[in-house]
Amino acid sequence: MKIKTFKVERWMNDYEDDAVYNLGETCIDSLTIGELLELGGYSPDEYLKSLKDTRLTYSYIFGSPEFKSGVASLYNNIKPEHVIPTHGATGANAMVLETLIEPGDNMISVMPTYQQHYSIPEAIGAEVRILQLTAENGYLPDIDELRKLVDDNTKMITVNNPNNPTGSWIPEESMKQIAEVAASVDAYLLSDEVYRGISEDGEYMYSVTDLYDKGISVGSMSKIFSLAGLRMGWIATRDEDALNEILERRDYNTISCGVIDDKLASIALANKEKIFARNREILHKNREILDQWVQETPEVHYVRPVAGTTALVYYDADIPSYELCVRLIKEKGLLFTPGEAFEMEGAVRIGYAFDSKLLRQGLDIFAEFLKEIKEK
């Protein structure tokens, strides 16, 4: 199966190690093992010593009870048996798409989004219909447009909520309408919810699984739990057919997840409120820093992100985003992600959930750079 280059991942692979100011990062300031254990109330030394007795078997094939109930606790109506552990959200998206989409189907993906959602179906031989998100619409799906895109051969609609790169969040009423459109053609609705869970006001953020029986949620430990190195993710759905088909597929490409990864993820899930409190503070503070900088900088504009960890920032300079980002990393050590990696030219994606000081410094360097190239 031939597949297109995964632009955003290739960009990060090529340049992330060179970054002094890493504003390409999308995880909220990652935790060390020691920090995680301390947050969970363990003595790191004692816990790590006790790990040596862990037998490295395949362990729980379908995930430990602690992991599955921990994931279920992130949802209103998901039970542990509705949860399938995967190798990150990347593994989850791939498994859902490769299991449920077949050659000759059509499916609808929002754009911009995480490239798996359109490039995997395309590689399978499905027809991909794009629902373009625009700044004018606050990067929210146009439901009338969506209605025109579906037909009886539509197998799936896929969204990314909160959205990477724009930081938009689909209001619950709109998601209900999207679910109605999906139901009208009996299609699955896959929602990549890897950035879901830390709201601005601390309230529960709905999931697609709350709204639609054929809703499939994908999540992971990478972003809001700050634990990308665990490579633990999951699929959650109440749809029995999808669960069974995906489990059949999983025997071929996963068997089980890592036993140590599962243990550490379970600790994080059991202590989610503490991790979310830490991370909510980082998000609030850094969103403000970014917003203030955008207001002060006439050379840029954006739609203020309301969720997630990234923003799509448009710049006023006549230079393609890829070239701009290569120059920034090579000349200034500043890492953004080119909008072009999301098929959004004239913009850069800024990941703002990392270190506040580096964020402010990086943004100032970018403002200077834009002034310099304008003066030339």
Ligand X SMILES: Cc1ncc(COP(=O)(O)O)c(C=O)c1O
Q: Is 194 in the site for ligand X (CB under 6 A)?
A: yes
Q: Please identify, among the stretches 84-92, 95-103, 244-252, 284-292, the one whose residues bind ligand X according to the rule CB under 6 A.
A: 84-92
Q: What's the min distance (Å) between Cβ of 235 and ligand X?
A: 12
Q: Please identify, among the stretches 41-49, 87-95, 207-215, 341-349, the one whose residues bind ligand X according to the rule CB under 6 A.
A: 87-95
Judged by beta carbon, residue 160 or residue 209, the one nearer ligand X is 160
CB atoms within 10 A of CB 311: 23
Decide: helix, strand or coil at residue 235.
strand
Judged by beta carbon, residue 89 or residue 341, the one nearer ligand X is 89
Q: Choose among 301, 198, 196, 236: nearest CA to 86.
A: 236
Q: Is 192 in the site for ligand X (CB under 6 A)?
A: yes
Q: Is 205 in the site for ligand X (CB under 6 A)?
A: no
Cis status of the peptide bond prior to 338, with omega within 30 of 0: no
Q: What's the min distance (Å) between Cβ of 185 and ligand X?
A: 24
Residues 242, 216: contact at Cβ < 8 Å? yes
Q: Is 262 in the site for ligand X (CB under 6 A)?
A: no
Q: What's the min distance (Å) between Cβ of 364 and ligand X?
A: 26
Contact mark string toward ligand X, 141..160, x via CB under 6 A: -------------------x
Spatial distance between the Cα atoms of 342 and 245, rounded to a whole number of angstroms: 30
Judged by beta carbon, residue 220 or residue 279, the one nearer ligand X is 220
Q: Is 236 in the site for ligand X (CB under 6 A)?
A: no
Spatial distance between the Cα atoms of 247 and 237, rounded to a whole number of angstroms: 12
How many CA atoms does the CB half-sphere of 258 hold within 13 Å?
11
Q: What's the min distance (Å) between Cβ of 81 and ligand X?
A: 22
Judged by beta carbon, residue 192 or residue 239, the one nearer ligand X is 192
* 92: β partners: none
For 24, phi then psi, to 5°, come to -100, -20
Q: Which residues contact 113 (CB under 8 A, 6 or more apart)?
A: 158, 159, 160, 163, 164, 192, 342
Q: What's the min distance (Å) between Cβ of 21 and ligand X?
A: 19
Q: Please identify, among the stretches 220-228, 235-243, 272-280, 291-299, the one whose residues bind ligand X according to the rule CB under 6 A.
A: 220-228
Q: What's the min distance (Å) between Cβ of 374 and ligand X?
A: 32
CB-based burial, 31-62: b 16+ in 10 Å, e otherwise: bebeebbebbebeeeebeeeeeeeeeeebbeb
Residues 352, 279: contact at Cβ < 8 Å? no
Judged by beta carbon, residue 97 or residue 228, the one nearer ligand X is 228
Give 369-376's long-range contacts (Cβ < 8 A, gap of 24+).
Answer: 369/327, 369/328, 369/331, 369/332, 369/334, 370/297, 370/299, 370/300, 370/315, 370/316, 370/317, 371/299, 373/317, 373/319, 374/299, 374/316, 374/317
How big is the CA angle at 114 (ends 174 and 234), to the nearest 5 degrees? 85
Q: Is 114 in the site for ligand X (CB under 6 A)?
A: yes
Q: Please identify, among the stretches 34-42, 86-94, 180-188, 235-243, the one whose residues bind ligand X according to the rule CB under 6 A.
A: 86-94
Q: Is 26 in the site for ligand X (CB under 6 A)?
A: yes
Residues 141, 108: contact at Cβ < 8 Å? no
Q: What's the min distance (Å) between Cβ of 9 and ligand X?
A: 8
Name which of residues 300 to 359 contact ligand X (CB under 6 A): none
DSSP assignment letter at 22: E
Q: Is 222 in the site for ligand X (CB under 6 A)?
A: yes
Applying CB under 6 A, among 101, 124, 126, 228 the residue interacting with ligand X is 228
Applying CB under 6 A, among 106, 177, 220, 279 the residue interacting with ligand X is 220
Judged by beta carbon, residue 237 or residue 297, the one nearer ligand X is 237
Q: Is 121 in the site for ligand X (CB under 6 A)?
A: no
Residue count, binding to ligand X (CB under 6 A): 13
Judged by beta carbon, residue 21 or residue 114, the one nearer ligand X is 114
Residues 190, 158: contact at Cβ < 8 Å? yes
Spatial distance between the Cα atoms of 255 and 257, rounded to a whole number of angstroms: 7
> Footprint of ligand X on this chain (CB under 6 A)?
26, 88-90, 114, 160, 164, 192, 194, 220, 222, 228, 233
